[in-house]
Structure 1
């Protein structure tokens, strides 16, 4: 990727600390890492709806109690949200069915324990920030911003909740001022994985640090070869991307950022990049 254009597209009032998004038809589904709602923004009406995932869902949850939804993807008619796994209260998933308008929450404590046992990524370093399905496998993108710097992809075979096999593929990304960039989201587009990464001057999966920029990159979904990576900003911590438009020569994503602020305003960016062939 040698050419890209990043621009502020629009703003959504009523949601802050956005950590992931999915664009489908005229709807943009968003999650916030401090909320237990799923948000749906309609492009035609410019209206933001709050979808309650639990009984008594809350918009502003304290850091120690939040489910920390960092990952979102669409599977069939459902929107899947996944907690980061970085604390015991963050080991859950929630699936919202867009047709029935019902949600199901699942305790994934045993899964995260199995991931840690199988891969030697201990609980203090677990921090899943992206999820996608490829063929019969689930990819969970581990942000290696803990002390052990274990950035990579958990590969779960056959099932998300009860996988037959779990592997961990380490992925080393560029450094900025001595700090490695680490995964913040990923999406499958045709035969490539497009991912976001950010560098943050903190050795904690829990505490925020000084933001040193964000990158967009591509990986091969079978070999996990790093095909390309390019820095797109020096100041924003982008945490979510979804495909907005896809043509033969270029692809446009929508991006959201966690601005580490309590202000309920989400800036949605548009990133257009030229496609490359390998």
Structure 2
């Protein structure tokens, strides 16, 4: 692949362990996997607002209690926030109205997640959703294969609402390795008819415990064939867990990225990744 550029764009004080983000109209929405808030950061005036997603939210929830919000996706004026499903208290999906800044609904997806585990032949301890896409007709949920079974799986749910009847497809992927350890999905977005995804390598066999960070990749999947077009290693030191489209111009596509620093420090660096359009 041709040359890419990765740079720190700015830093946000007040957010830790960022795991998902969405950019629109000069505002960057973020979730942290140990936080009970949806954060809204205005990139022009550098103002940070907090929107509670759960009752009695805090910014640093204990690991065994946290809702583990790992991904954001949007359609029209609604932002959807997903819990990872990696433990019994991480099964929430919250719909947030971007215009009114209010919660539209809260769903417990425990039954859907159990069905996905059974259909995808993924053990509960290896189930860990870290990416989500909704295009108005289909949902794409990305299982991070950082458990023992290395099941990097995209679940395609053919339904306009997760509360109605649906058809389910599970597609497995072998993602690139670093030092013999396979990378695993950490986020994904849809740009036109292409899925861009992040994958990262941690030296751990657990979806719960963190390990040594060995690097991250950007990759692309063709939506029609669901086959990988390319992957590119973009760092040897960062665990990137959030990806959003920024802009596209002059044969270059730009994304904003955030990383999970696996600490309780409430600061988040936002990176800009630029790639040639292929």
TM range (shorter): over 0.9
Specify whether residues 115 and 163 from structure 1 end up closer, same or farther in structure 2 by C-alpha distance, changes over 3 A only: farther
Q: Supply the RMSD in Å over aligned alpha carbons.
A: 1.2
Aligned mates of 2:55, 2:236 — CA distance in 1: 40
Structure 1 residue 59: deviation in Å? 1.2
Corresponding residue for residue 234 of structure 2? 232
Alignment size in residue pairs? 276
Q: Which moved more, 1:59-68 or 1:112-121?
A: 112-121
1:58-207 counterparts in 2 under 5 A?
A: 58-103=58-103, 104-134=105-135, 136-158=137-159, 159-207=161-209
Corresponding residue for residue 272 of structure 2? 270
Aligned mates of 1:53, 1:175 — CA distance in 2: 35
1:231-270 counterparts in 2 under 5 A?
A: 231-270=233-272
Aligned 8 A contact 2:4 2:275 in 1: yes
1:111 partner SS: helix
Aligned mates of 2:222, 2:62 — CA distance in 1: 38
What do residues 201-227 of structure 1 show as CA deviations (whole Å, max 9, x unaligned)? 100000000111000010011211110
Aligned mates of 2:249, 2:123 — CA distance in 1: 41
Q: What is the TM-score of this pair, normalised by structure 2?
A: 0.96
Aligned 8 A contact 2:193 2:224 in 1: no
Q: What is the TM-score of this pair, normalised by structure 1?
A: 0.96
Q: Which runs of 5+ in 1 are unaligned?
A: none
Aligned mates of 2:138, 2:4 — CA distance in 1: 30
Aligned mates of 1:2, 1:70 — CA distance in 2: 30
Specify whether residues 264 and 224 from structure 1 end up closer, same or farther in structure 2 by C-alpha distance, changes over 3 A only: same
Specify whether residues 37 and 80 from structure 1 end up closer, same or farther in structure 2 by C-alpha distance, changes over 3 A only: same
What do residues 91-125 of structure 1 show as CA deviations (whole Å, max 9, x unaligned)? 11111112222112211111111111222112111
Aligned mates of 2:24, 2:150 — CA distance in 1: 34
2:125 partner SS: coil
Aligned 8 A contact 2:21 2:244 in 1: yes
Aligned mates of 2:163, 2:110 — CA distance in 1: 10
Corresponding residue for residue 41 of structure 1? 41
1:89 partner SS: coil
